[in-house]
Amino acid sequence: MRHRKSGRKLKRTASHRRATLNALATALLRHKRIHTTVAKAKETRMVVEKMITRAKNARKADASAAKVGASSERAKKFIEAGGHARREVARFIKDRAVVAELFDVIAERVANRPGGYTRILKLGQRYGDAAEMAVIELVDFNAGQEPVAKKADKPAKKSAPKKKAPKKAKGDAAKAEATAPAEATAPAAQ
């Protein structure tokens, strides 16, 4: 029995599970939307939401520290960079560009949202092994969903009914087939 043991093992060792979740979190923050299994999506959601909250709180702390004012130049740089929070997130996200995007773009966009930064949409079963598939995406980013342009209402053109070719009688078709091979072989014989 696994009472009071949260999280899914995902049939992996601890280090492999951590690496998988770090890779999924990096991909989600980079692309804003990824396809994966439902179990991995639910685990990734826990990891990503904690990172986004940390970035959002660091951004909030930067704003309040800027109002108060730091005493030394070094302290100002540390506060402006969100130093400690960035290092904590960088333990999991190895791509510096993704960390910068998290703290600059994503944290700014979700600043007023009190949580629930991700959405999981179930897709059904995968063809090969019938695993439940899902899409996990960041709520405030509609990546890959371009607005559908509505077609302008134009009056439909009425086309004239197409004329059918006249049918040949069975006797005419048989005569045409009989003469065609004779004509085709006659020039080759000359």
**Which residues lie below 8 Å from residue 85, measured CB to CB, with a gap of 6+?**
54, 55, 57, 58, 61, 103
- As given in the structure block, the two tokens for residue 73 are 């130049």
What pLDDT digit, counting tens, does each position of 31-66 carry? Answer: 999 999 999 999 999 999 999 999 999 988 877 766
pLDDT tier for residue 67 given thresholds of 50, 70 and 90: low
CB atoms closer than 10 angstroms to residue 56: 24
Q: Where are the domains of the chain?
A: 14-138, 143-188
CATH classification number, 14-138, choose in 3.40.47.10, 1.10.3720.10, 3.40.50.300, 3.90.1030.10 = 3.90.1030.10
Q: Is the pLDDT of residue 72 over 70?
A: no
pLDDT at 136 over 90: yes
Residue 148 has pLDDT above 60, yes or no: no
What's the pTM? 0.69
Helix (H) or strand (E) holding 30: helix 14-31
Tokens, residue 183:
């004509």
Q: List the one residue out of 19, 13, 15, 17 whose CA is nearest residue 93.
A: 19
Residue 14 has pLDDT above 60, yes or no: yes
